[in-house]
Amino acid sequence: MAQHTTQAEDRLITDKEVAHLLGASRSWPWKLAQDGRLPAPIRLTARCTRWRLSEIRAWMADPQGWQAANAPKMEG
């Protein structure tokens, strides 16, 4: 069964909002995303970056599962 998200669930949120959802500082989402442990933000302009709320909620539901599913593929 396909999962549908409403427009409100799929809105773009700021680093401040991500930090609030995670209960962390504003720098923590950036660190996690840089390490590939959080969905990457979307760069809208040179000075405007946002995260998709649905991706953050999916990550929050299962961080380790998300990381396993989105790990970079190693070539042998």
Q: Give 15-43 pLDDT, tens digit per residue.
A: 999 999 999 999 999 999 999 999 999 99
pLDDT > 70 in the chain, percent = 84
- Higher local confidence (pLDDT), 72 or 63: 63
At residue 17, φ and ψ (nearest 5 deg) are: -70, -40
> What is the reported pLDDT for 5?
59
| E strand or H helix at 74 | none
Answer whether 9's CB lies under 8 Å from 60's CB. Answer: no
What strand order describes the sheet that includes 48-52?
A: 12-13, 48-52, 42-45
For residue 66, pLDDT over 80 is answered with yes
State which amino acid sits at residue 52: R
Answer whether 21's CB lies under 8 Å from 51's CB. Answer: no
Tokens of 55: 């991706």
Global confidence as pTM: 0.79
